[in-house]
Structure 1
């Protein structure tokens, strides 16, 4: 951490503003803060510590020494410090608690402490970014960015009077805390804590693994039926269960085979008896079929005759239907020719082709004929339109010639109005100025009223505060007067009196009924403080209101409201006149724009009319020629179509003569004639097709008669059967055939054939079904018993095998967990200083600090060898320091006196020796901390007093060591009144008392 700038006012002996530029002072590394004893040197260090931490440097120092007794009581005391750390540049400003005069009346009021912290872009940044204005938050943030709390700061950066040798004399445990924060070795303590937590976890895992082994053994014992099973007996028990399962499985196989043989014997006996019965039934059904065979054959023959007759009658029925259709189509064709007037000798197909070709050749001219009249009218209209366009062009030429004079008049009118509107901006500015003055007048009157109200509020709150103060003072006086009764009420017989020490209390004072307790006094004090705060708030409001009123009075001056109103009216009239002129300018401009738009529209119309006239003149002649040509073509086509429409069957239909019909009417007549020809052609085609069908059906009937053996169609129709009779005969034949097939198949079955051989070979008495069934039941019962025994033994063996696997798995997991936990437990015990494995009892964090502390002691000894004649060196010790009850930390210190070759406690050194050794230790600590990448950056060091105890030779050595320290870019400030130092250090801050009783500061760079 580096200090850049310190400002203070009304602090300690400094009533005026003091500004110290540490950056300029420390340019050469070492600067001196000197002055007579009691002049205020330590106050500057107190100001630095107060700015950072809100406290003072010296042990037991109070904040009462901060507010200067030499400054005006109304001046606010404050300290402002600009400093830089690895986190950035900051400015902190603090004001201590102090008593200031009341704004109304006599007496003082307590002003509470305040603080502000800003982050700066650079040390010269005068504004910065606000970080916080709350005292607790600022304390935490400063500790974070500096990396030290106040106690650590006093032992490493600022070494004030009475605090210089604390680190040297500190117990090992306190030294460990300081070193840990400086070197950032908390990670090693967290590592040890994490190892301890891991140790607890693995121990829990080992216990859990043992529990899992016990559970697995219990399950194995239950599955195997061995209550006393152990890890060693698991394998033997499992082998015995497997042997038993194999024996019962063999007995089960034998019993099942015997039961199967008995079942097959029973089934064979029952099947043989069933085959004998089935054969007898089938023989009886075959005899019945043989008796009805003749009747079935007769029915079969009758059905065959009817089937042949149906093959003849079906085409005969089709022939009759074809003859009826052929007659009908022939009559329809003759009727259509008669109805349409088509003579019998006319070739309709040829006439249809001529009509279609003629209609196709003239059909496109129907549309041309329909447009002839409209085109003639359009031609006449175009000629009339051309004449009108000639007249419009002449009129437009006259109008366009008069447009320039009108536009010149509009431009002149707009120029005149613009000149009148030019005064508008100045008039509006004057109106705004006068209105602001008027607003200030109104605000001045409102501020006057606000000041009166604020004065009344301050008076009321002052009266209230004085009343509450008198009430508090009265309560305190009453409580002090009745303290004897309060102490008497607290006495217990036999206990010593807190005043005289006697254990007998013959005349105990009794508290009065209205004696106020401490809570009442505190409540009154709180009410008084609240009233003082409210009074201060009202006074602040009054000060703001008065300042506002003075500002408004200065702004308004001697302005008069009536004169101001007249000026406003004149300025408003100027604004209105300018606004009207501006409106007139806009109107004239709009008229000019409209005039220009109208002129351009007339010019465009003139061009369009001329172009349209030229187009009309050019197209009218061409359209007249096309119109004459199309009329001649339509007339010729109408004559040609009318000549073809006069066909022989049309002359009698009463249609119009060719001269009276249009081309469209003639084409429609041609289309109608073609449609009639199509109808006649289709009817005659259908009649020819029907006649051909009759011929084909006649030949088909003749072939059928010959194939089926009938002479005539009538003979075939006589052989047909009614549908119900056919169905009955078919059912009889099908039933007989189905029954014959079933009987033949049944008699051919192997079991029925075997039954015939069985009857030939022996009597029925040889097949005893009941005996076979009884033997089957007995064998099945024996098989069930064997199966149950085998399943039970197999299930027990399988369950025991599964549980044995779980036991083996649990045992291996327990062994793995135990092996893994041993390393973790040992490492945790070593890191946490367990004496069983770590006889020194030093933890991992302390061990790391010891290595760092070795570097600190080595750096201190490097400087100490050149001081005090090389008499002393510092040594580390892991023993408890003298007078300390703390546990061993390995960070104890001893002083080796080379003169007597003895080890001494640091407290046995003299004043000068203590200062020198402590300074070397502090400088060594600063060197090592600065060199550590993760440590706190200590860029500034203050040494407050102690140099007066050194002889000149030792003083030379100390100054030399300080010069070595500044070679790394650090700042060292020496606080001393030793005269010899003034000759050695040119950069200094000189503090001198003044005649008024305060002190002043002079900086020499």
Structure 2
């Protein structure tokens, strides 16, 4: 049905195409005469345009000849007043050559005067410059004389500065003695002030000693009274434990009819003992007070000896005097330094002025010679310019006259050449125009001009010819199309083709409707099949993903169990605890190296695997005692062992931190107490190891009250409490 419809459509289209081409052929046939006339006009226009162009150029050349003749005549009339001889050369048969020679001659004459003209122009400036140089030379000579006079006075000034400097040095020489005297005066002044304060301390100490003595005597009297009363009531104490049949410790009797009774003021042994302690305490306080009184007295004696026979007022006067002497000497020393610097600067300035004088003298001499030479050269150039000027006002005016003659000759020559060239060109174009007309077929120049079309007309005719050619090409191409030439273009044939096309179109529409219904059913079945295939593919993909996730999750769960210590195998230690155990092993290894030195290899640190404690962290310590080959817990260590085990751990931890901290250094270590628990041999070992650490660059600070430490450590800082509740600090090295 589709093929029949397409064939019917093609048949009707061919009939319509043939009818269109027949109408075009008829129109072309009707327009043929007008087209022939247009082609003839275009051919005549094409032939006439070159001839008309030659005629135009001939007429323009004639016009230019007339203008050149007029221009030459005008130039001759304007040039004749100044250069009559040059205008006269125009009448000569060799006028062009003679004008060229005249121009060259004048140009050469002007060129020969160029340098002399410049020399003449520069003469006034040179004269002014020479006069200015002479003035400058006079000023430089005067300045040189003034500089020489200044240098003559400088030795006397220098002698004065040297005398002042020496005087200041002499005054400053006593600075050392003045400083020594100042220090002595300061020490005496401090001693006199301190002696006054110390006298008050001595009096206070004396009062305390007297009060302590009275207290001690009172406590001794109280103790004696209690002992007397105690002895008086001893019989009553003995009778308390007697019973019939027991021997009396005094008389030996076994019967005790009237045992002694306790008195109302009886004294117990505890009271006597307490009184004795109070008496001893009072006596000790009295001894300390007496010692303090003696020490303050000794310090007062030392201060009085340091102060000499000075009072605070005389000591202050001596201090002020010494201070003034030091200030005077310092001022003299400072002035001497300033004068020395001034003298050095003065000498440098003298040297600079001397070199300047020598340089100025040489410059003056050179400038004088140069001025003389410049004056001689200027006189010679004046003579040369005067000779070249002759009777003219100036060389520049003379050169300008030569240049004007050269320009006039050149202008006349160019005008003459232009006229001659235009006349020759006009003759050539006249001959060319005559030859073109004779061969063109036009009767005259006017006929040729009449054949030339206007631009609009030429364009219209060209478009007409081009349109005709396009239409003829369209007609030929259309008739050459498939089946066009054999097609009958009658009305009956078109009606038959239209009927066939309508029947074929109806059958095609019915077939297309049936095809669409079948395609819809097929699309439904295809969609169901595609959805089924996609569901199967998704199911298989999901199954594969479930299997993959299960496998990956197993690994993740295994790693998580290991990290959290919930794994079913191994020691079931958390990852963080395992890392701490590994770091603790490193610290223990570094600490054992120190501990072997401290303990003589008797002790070694071990990491507890976790047997102690309910959590089994594995972060506890044990101590292996190689003397008994027994493992001990740290709580069983003695005080000395605990100290150097702790010290070994601290040093080991410091070594690990410095080794892994990226350049961070732990340069300072403080050890506070703990040495009193060490035996002498161990103390010596520990001190020796600390000394080795100090030699490697660390600063080790030790806080201790152990006396043996003082003998083994050279650098010491002593802190003592003074009598006035202040602390004093001293450093020994």
Q: TM-score, normalised by structure 2?
A: 0.52
Distance 1:676 1:575 in 2: 103
Q: 2:372 matched to 1:611?
A: no
Q: 2:394 matched to 1:662?
A: yes
- 1:169-180 alignment, distance < 5 Å: none
Q: Return closer, same or farther for 1:706/1:629 CA change in 2, 3 Å cut-off.
A: same
Distance 1:988 1:300 in 2: 138
Residue in 2 that maps onto 1:42: none
Q: 2:51 matched to 1:312?
A: yes
Residue in 2 that maps onto 1:366: 117
Q: Return closer, same or farther for 1:808/1:427 CA change in 2, 3 Å cut-off.
A: same
Q: 2:402 matched to 1:673?
A: no
Distance 1:939 1:885 in 2: 24
Q: Return closer, same or farther for 1:427/1:724 CA change in 2, 3 Å cut-off.
A: same
Q: Which has the larger radius of gyration?
A: 2
1:121-145, CA deviations, whole angstroms, 9 ceiling, x for partnerless residues?
A: xxxxxxxxxxxxxxxxxxxxxxxxx
Q: Return closer, same or farther for 1:748/1:693 CA change in 2, 3 Å cut-off.
A: same
Q: Return closer, same or farther for 1:769/1:315 CA change in 2, 3 Å cut-off.
A: farther
Q: Is the 8 A contact 1:832 1:843 kept in 2?
A: no
Distance 1:787 1:565 in 2: 130
- 1:798-877 alignment, distance < 5 Å: 798-800=533-535, 802-803=537-538, 805-806=540-541, 809-810=544-545, 813=548, 843=571
Residue in 1 that maps onto 2:27: 288
Q: Is the 8 A contact 2:123 2:378 kept in 1?
A: yes
SS in 2 for 1:334: helix
Q: Return closer, same or farther for 1:371/1:307 CA change in 2, 3 Å cut-off.
A: closer
1:5-46, CA deviations, whole angstroms, 9 ceiling, x for partnerless residues?
A: xxxxxxxxxxxxxxxxxxxxxxxxxxxxxxxxxxxxxxxxxx
Greater RCO (CA < 8 Å, at least 6 residues apart) = 1
Residue in 2 that maps onto 1:350: 101
Counterpart pick for 1:697 among 429, 439, 444: 429
Residue in 1 that maps onto 2:161: 410
1:301 deviates by 2.3
1:670-708, CA deviations, whole angstroms, 9 ceiling, x for partnerless residues?
A: 333333334333333433443343234334423432443
Distance 1:676 1:441 in 2: 122
Q: 2:445 matched to 1:713?
A: yes
Q: Is the 8 A contact 2:47 2:440 kept in 1?
A: yes
Matched pairs, number:
486
Distance 2:41 2:14 in 1: 40
Unpaired segments ≥5 residues, structure 2? 81-85, 91-97, 198-295, 582-610, 618-622, 643-676, 684-706, 709-733
Distance 1:833 1:306 in 2: 114
Distance 2:494 2:137 in 1: 137
1:719 deviates by 2.8
Q: Is the 8 A contact 2:38 2:461 kept in 1?
A: yes
Counterpart pick for 2:479 among 747, 769, 776: 747
Distance 2:405 2:55 in 1: 42
Q: Return closer, same or farther for 1:303/1:599 CA change in 2, 3 Å cut-off.
A: closer
Q: 2:69 matched to 1:321?
A: no
SS in 1 for 2:87: coil
Q: Return closer, same or farther for 1:306/1:776 CA change in 2, 3 Å cut-off.
A: farther
Q: Is the 8 A contact 1:329 1:687 kept in 2?
A: yes
SS in 1 for 2:20: helix
Residue in 2 that maps onto 1:684: 416
Distance 2:179 2:544 in 1: 100
Distance 2:150 2:681 in 1: 100
- 1:910-921 alignment, distance < 5 Å: none
1:363 deviates by 1.7
SS in 2 for 1:781: helix
Q: Is the 8 A contact 1:403 1:599 kept in 2?
A: yes
Distance 2:128 2:555 in 1: 118
Q: Return closer, same or farther for 1:332/1:833 CA change in 2, 3 Å cut-off.
A: closer
Distance 1:750 1:309 in 2: 47
Residue in 2 that maps onto 1:500: none
- 1:504-583 alignment, distance < 5 Å: 563=314, 566-567=317-318, 569-571=320-322, 573-574=324-325, 577-578=328-329, 581=332
1:328 deviates by 1.6
Distance 1:988 1:406 in 2: 80
1:565 deviates by 5.6
1:710 deviates by 0.6
Q: Return closer, same or farther for 1:421/1:665 CA change in 2, 3 Å cut-off.
A: farther
Residue in 2 that maps onto 1:252: none
1:714 deviates by 0.8
Q: CA RMSD in A?
A: 5.8
Q: Return closer, same or farther for 1:695/1:792 CA change in 2, 3 Å cut-off.
A: farther
Q: 2:527 matched to 1:792?
A: yes
Distance 2:402 2:130 in 1: 33
Distance 2:147 2:626 in 1: 113
Q: Return closer, same or farther for 1:755/1:922 CA change in 2, 3 Å cut-off.
A: farther
1:388 deviates by 9.1
Q: Is the 8 A contact 1:311 1:708 kept in 2?
A: no
SS in 2 for 1:364: helix
1:495-542, CA deviations, whole angstroms, 9 ceiling, x for partnerless residues?
A: xxxxxxxxxxxxxxxxxxxxxxxxxxxxxxxxxxxxxxxxxxxxxxxx
1:616-642, CA deviations, whole angstroms, 9 ceiling, x for partnerless residues?
A: 565566556544544444445x25xxx
Residue in 2 that maps onto 1:336: 75
Distance 2:6 2:428 in 1: 71
SS in 1 for 2:166: helix
Residue in 1 that maps onto 2:203: none
Q: Return closer, same or farther for 1:363/1:576 CA change in 2, 3 Å cut-off.
A: same
Q: Is the 8 A contact 1:270 1:769 kept in 2?
A: no
Q: Is the 8 A contact 2:189 2:319 kept in 1?
A: no
1:220-276, CA deviations, whole angstroms, 9 ceiling, x for partnerless residues?
A: xxxxxxxxxxxxxxxxxxxxxxxxxxxxxxxxxxxxxxxxxx444433322221221
> Relative to total residues, which structure has the larger strand share, 1 or 2?
1
Q: TM-score, normalised by structure 1?
A: 0.39
1:889-946, CA deviations, whole angstroms, 9 ceiling, x for partnerless residues?
A: 9xxxxxxxxxxxxxxxxxxxxxxxxxxxx9999944549x9xxxxxxx999979xxxx
1:345 deviates by 0.6
Q: Is the 8 A contact 2:558 2:567 kept in 1?
A: no
> Relative to total residues, which structure has the larger helix share, 1 or 2?
2
Q: Return closer, same or farther for 1:576/1:671 CA change in 2, 3 Å cut-off.
A: farther
Distance 1:690 1:783 in 2: 96
Q: Return closer, same or farther for 1:669/1:310 CA change in 2, 3 Å cut-off.
A: same
1:158-192, CA deviations, whole angstroms, 9 ceiling, x for partnerless residues?
A: xxxxxxxxxxxxxxxxxxxxxxxxxxxxxxxxxxx
